Amino acid sequence: MVLPPRPTFVAILGHNGAGKTTLLRVLTGQLPYQGSVRLGGPEELRTLRGPALARRLGYLPQRGTLEFGLPVRELVVMGRYRHHGLLGTYGPADYARADAALEVVGIAQLANQDFRQLSGGEQQLVWLAQLSLQAAPLYLLDEPTQQLDVYYRQRVFELITSWVEVDKRTVLCTTHDLDSLPGLPGYLLNLSRPRPVLVPISPEAVRTEYNFLARKGPRG
């Protein structure tokens, strides 16, 4: 499969267990794979490590946790780690970016709270704000709207659209949230299909995939 050369959004669909997270883990270099994977460059993915991989992609896994207490703003500013190192000193410009990202995802009022005291949905929004500071050309999101209410779900898909259209990033996003997709520019990739292909998003295409997933069980 080849993604379009221009920045785009791909919603990765499929039943539970279809392999959506597995695909993202392959693309982030966490799992071995057969065949060939290239991310916007000539090098084979398995040869990229550390900073070289981080320059190509930002990854938001499911259910990110934190073992220690940290104010939200301090966690978000760490999205700039590629520029300073993870424990580097961040300056006023970095904090201004963090504040702007919190504003965009709609949780500026939580900036000084301890991350661990936030609700699951609020924590998810913090990770999205942090990711937006990474400024990689490819973002991989694993069910980013999983715990979000209808307002924030809509807001996250607006954010994704702006990452594609304004910031010119490609976003691959696993989701079960088909209701949010019809108006978005980009593609569907249904991993429950025997031969998954990129299908341009339209209300009809979303309905077709919804009906496929609703009628057929994960084992066909």
How far is residue 51 CA from its own chain's centroid? Answer: 19
Give the residue with the Cβ less far from ligand ATP, 16 or 47.
16
- To ligand ATP, the closest distance from the beta carbon of 91 in angstroms equals 38
Instruction: List the one residue from 8, 9, 20, 94 that touches ligand ATP (CB under 6 A).
Output: 20
Q: Quote the tokens at residue 55.
A: 């320059």
- To ligand ATP, the closest distance from the beta carbon of 32 in angstroms equals 12
Is position 14 an interface residue for ligand ATP (rule: CB under 6 A)? Answer: yes
- To ligand ATP, the closest distance from the beta carbon of 173 in angstroms equals 12
Closest CA to 157 of 201, 93, 94: 201
Instruction: Give kind and range of the element (H or E) at residue 170.
Output: strand 170-174
Instruction: List the one residue from 5, 6, 16, 220 that touches ligand ATP (CB under 6 A).
Output: 16
Is position 29 an interface residue for ligand ATP (rule: CB under 6 A)? Answer: no
Segment near ligand ATP (CB under 6 A); pick from 3-11, 18-26, 32-40, 87-95: 18-26
Rounded Cα distance between 188 and 202, Å, is 9
Q: Quote the tokens at residue 167.
A: 């910031």
- 187-190 and 198-200 strand pairing: antiparallel
Give the residue with the Cβ less far from ligand ATP, 90 or 127.
127
Q: CA-CA distances (angstroms) from residue 194 to 114, 140, 177, 189, 191?
A: 45, 23, 21, 11, 8
Give the residue with the Cβ less far from ligand ATP, 17 or 91.
17
Segment near ligand ATP (CB under 6 A); pick from 11-19, 32-40, 90-98, 195-203: 11-19
* CB of 185 closer than 8 Å to CB of 4: no
For ligand ATP, the binding residues (CB under 6 A) are: 14, 16-22
